[in-house]
Chains A and B, each alone.
Chain A
Amino acid sequence: MIEATVAANRSDLGVSLAGTRWGLALAILVAAFCVSSATPGLAQTATPAASGEGAEPSSPKKDVLTIPIILAREKIDKPLPLSLLDLPPADDGIAGAQLGLKDNNTTGRFVNQEFILDVVEDADPDKLIKDVLAKVEGGAQFVLADVGPDTLVKLADTVAGKDVLIINYGAADDRLREEDCRPQVMHTAPTRAMIADALAQYLVWKKWRRWFLVLGPKKEDKLFADALRRAAKRFGAKIVEERTFAYETGNRRADGGFEQVQQQIPTFTQEAPDYDVLVVADEGNLFGDYLPYRTWDARPVAGTAGLVATSWHPAIEMWGGTQFQNRFKRMANRSMRPLDYNAWMAARIIGEAATRKSSGSYKDLAPFIKSADFELAAFKGVRLTLRDWNGQLRQPVPIVSPKLLVSVSPQLGFLHQFTVLDTLGVDKPETKCAAFTQ
């Protein structure tokens, strides 16, 4: 019923054509007939409109501006996380972009714009870049990217100078916003520094300043540990102990399960100096979830397990979030994950700019998005804007327990000259990014 009403409404919004849409369709049909009967050769290469398909009862397609958005995803093989509840769905991120397009199209039907999502996926980064380039050469100007950091840089360099805007919604690497920044790349995903700073502010506010840092052996774990060390220094926490959890990944489950872990974790965490909170850096979620309630000392766990700083959580209901969560669930048949949310924001940036500028072209939208006038409403209670020195979207960062929102950073009391959102992550005076403002 709703779809029919929408379709009907769309034709009514063609308002002035409401009375003449049949007349116009008839005219097209007649023209098509004349063309096809007069020039038989031409008829074979006739466009769909000329062959009579244009006679649908809504406003003629030529009045609607079509804006294609490419979603480029690099399929990276990762070991599965510990918890059954954390297994990534096949459409992780993609579903968020789909909701973003759906929301864009709801507005679009009032302003005669239609957004189309084109998903390009591959495990081979070079092939992926080639496929995206082909789409760009076919006219696409907007790319939402969930790719590895090296791939993002390569992709940006491949389309450099062309009318293409890339929005990174997957990679948290700070270097992509610093020494490896690019003028045509923006970011909705928060950086590791923003996440670490958000968590550190809350832990410091809580007066849990003595940290026992545990990191995994992977390169991403080390990067997050670096961000945590920086955050501790910045906000006045002290890392009193640091240990690396070297482990054999093994299989994430076996028919036994807890017996060995119950012995291992206390032993691993014993004999640490006095500390307030164990902060774990385990980006793959391969061991961090073993830590809560098993540490030698009775201490809370934070970081990538336990108390987590993240861009989104499926139980957030503040700021009108309930409706947003419900719309996603109805569409995707699952809860919204942080990657979905980051992708939604990326899609909405394009949609919001297109609505405000009444255009779908890179030349109109990119400068507007980069300008001080651009803002995005994203269920975070404040307007979100892009950092003008590196294209990173500023945003409040929720601090969450597995089931509920605990707090939101930046915490009250941390001050900033221009906006408290810039107390999270690498700030303008510290930036290594020069390329973005070229």
Chain B
Amino acid sequence: MRFKVGCVWTLGVCVALMVSTPAALADTAFVTNEKDNTVSVIDTEKLEVIKTFKVGHRPRGIILSKDAKWLIICVSDDNIIQVYDTRTYEFIKLLPSGPDPELLILHPSGNPLYIANEDDNLVTVVDIEQGKILTDIPVGVEPEGMGMSPDGKVLVNTSETTNMAHFISTETNKTFDNVLVDARPRVAIYNKAGTQLWVSSEIGGTVTVINPADRKIIGKIHFEIPGITREAIQPVGIRITKDDKTAFVALGPANRVAIVNTETLKVEKYLLVGQRVWQLAFTPDDKLLFTTNGTSNDVSVIDVDKQKVIKSIRTGRYPWGVVVAPF
């Protein structure tokens, strides 16, 4: 009898606890530290680094596999891709790439992987299960940005010195169109509906928005910040909220992130973050945005709804890429 009461009591307490404390829905952000050759792991609820683990030399672009089990990292100076376990942070395997991989993107189906090799004017296509190169696609000089259309049919790659966005059919792996943009394009990204392609021009200081259907330019976003010289405004990373309404653009040595209305293409606000902000990533619910500030060795956390920077988190040296896993 006592035993039963004890069990019920314990069960009751457990239930009460479960009901009263909302489940801690922390996600995990992973940040590559280019100079330290490490990855910082950040708990997005506590907003602190919970672990730093070593990877290969000069880690830059970082993404998740479709099932979020793998971290796939461009380890540029080793000219290879490394795969790590997102929960145990253990090394799993290598994937081949061309020389100096910088950014990478998966087909929406989860395979293959498309890698921009900065040093070889090529995009390499890799099967991540078999670990084999399927083919190489010649592009312009110094490829970097990799954008994937939501339907997986078109890959967009930007070439930094050729100043172009190349539209590549993922069926034929051949380029079918090229759009000239302003100087030194870095990042290319589609919105969720597939109706806009955003391309940042680091030296040109602008973001070009292209209609993927006909590859005509819909508009160009210029940035103006009082007290900041035009030369310091160098757009690099871009992220768009899942509802496609708001874009966030990292402006490099202007040390700010611009909030842009995707309909009017007008800047609504500038948020001061750390120094030389390059890449960004949302938490899966779009509530927080993490920015990598290369020269101040930290990551800024932006409350997306309030449009405010709420915290800076110290990482390793020269944080570069960032991705957030949904657990």
A interface vs B, CB < 8 Å? 1-2, 5-6, 9, 12-13, 15, 103, 106-107, 110-111, 320, 322-324, 326-327, 352, 355-356, 375-377, 382-383, 419-420
Contact = CB atoms under 8 A, between A and B. Distances in A.
A356 B183 contact: no
A432 B164 CA distance: 39
Contacts of B161: 103, 106-107, 324, 377
Contact of A323 (B118, B184, B231): B118
A355 B183 CA distance: 12
10 contacts: A2-B138, A9-B138, A106-B161, A107-B140, A107-B161, A324-B161, A327-B119, A355-B163, A382-B203, A383-B204
Contacts of B170: none
B136 interface: yes
A22 to B, nearest CB: 18
B229 A326 contact: no
Interface stretch (B11-19, B174-182, B237-245, B298-306): B174-182
A323 B119 contact: yes
A355 B178 CA distance: 12
Q: Is the contact region of chain B dominated by helix, strand, or loop, or is it mixed?
A: loop
Contacts of B184: 320, 377
A383 B184 CA distance: 9
Contacts of A420: 229
A377 B163 contact: yes
Contact of A5 (B136, B140, B142): B136
Contact of A107 (B118, B164, B205): B164
Interface in B114-145: 118-122, 136, 138, 140-142
Contact of A106 (B118, B119, B140): B140
Contacts of B138: 2, 5-6, 9
A106 B164 CA distance: 11
B204 A375 contact: yes
Contacts of B180: 111, 355-356
Given A106-B161, A110-B178, 10 more contacts: A5-B138, A106-B121, A106-B141, A106-B159, A107-B164, A320-B160, A322-B100, A323-B142, A382-B231, A420-B229
A106 B184 CA distance: 15
Given A12-B174, A383-B231, A103 B203 contact: no
Interface string B145-163: 0000000000000011111
B231 A9 contact: no
Contacts of B229: 419-420
A418 B93 CA distance: 53
B100 A107 contact: no
A299 to B, nearest CB: 32
Interface in B76-104: 100
The 6 closest A-B pairs by CB, nearest first: A377-B183, A377-B203, A382-B231, A107-B162, A377-B184, A110-B178
A383 B204 CA distance: 7
Interface in B177-212: 178, 180, 183-184, 203-205
Nearest to B179: A110
B235 to A, nearest CB: 13
Contacts of B120: 2
B119 to A, nearest CB: 5
B322 to A, nearest CB: 20
B164 A110 contact: yes
Given A5-B138, A382-B203, A15 B163 contact: no
Given A326-B119, A383-B204, A419-B229, A12 B175 contact: yes
Contacts of B140: 106-107, 110
A355 B205 CA distance: 19
A376 B183 CA distance: 7
Contact of A375 (B136, B162, B176, B183): B183
Instruction: Tell which of B122, B140, B162, B183 has the most Cβ of chain A within 10 Å.
Output: B162
Contacts of B100: 322-323, 326
A106 B205 CA distance: 23
Interface string B241-271: 0000000000000000000000000000000
Nearest to B205: A383
Nearest to B144: A320
A105 to B, nearest CB: 10
Interface in B262-295: none
B181 to A, nearest CB: 11
A320 B159 CA distance: 12
Contacts of A383: 183, 203-205, 231
Nearest to A13: B175
B200 to A, nearest CB: 13
Contacts of A419: 229, 231
A110 B162 contact: yes
A419 B120 CA distance: 35
A419 B232 CA distance: 11
A214 to B, nearest CB: 36
A322 B122 CA distance: 16
Contacts of A2: 120-122, 136, 138
A359 to B, nearest CB: 13
Contacts of A322: 100, 119
Contacts of B119: 322-323, 326-327
Contacts of A15: 176
A413 to B, nearest CB: 13
Interface string B165-178: 01000000011101
Nearest to B252: A381
Instruction: Tell which of A13, A107, A355, A356 has the most Cβ of chain B within 10 Å.
Output: A107
B174 to A, nearest CB: 5
Nearest to B143: A323
Contacts of A323: 100, 118-119, 142
B141 A107 contact: yes
Contacts of A352: 163
Contacts of B183: 375-377, 383
A419 B175 CA distance: 39
Contacts of B160: 320, 377
Nearest to B135: A5
A216 B30 CA distance: 57
A324 B118 CA distance: 10
Contacts of A356: 180
Contacts of A375: 183, 203-204
A1 B231 CA distance: 40
Nearest to A10: B138
A75 B121 CA distance: 35
B98 to A, nearest CB: 10
Instruction: Tell which of A5, A15, A106, A375 has the most Cβ of chain B within 10 Å.
Output: A106
A320 B203 CA distance: 12
B27 to A, nearest CB: 32
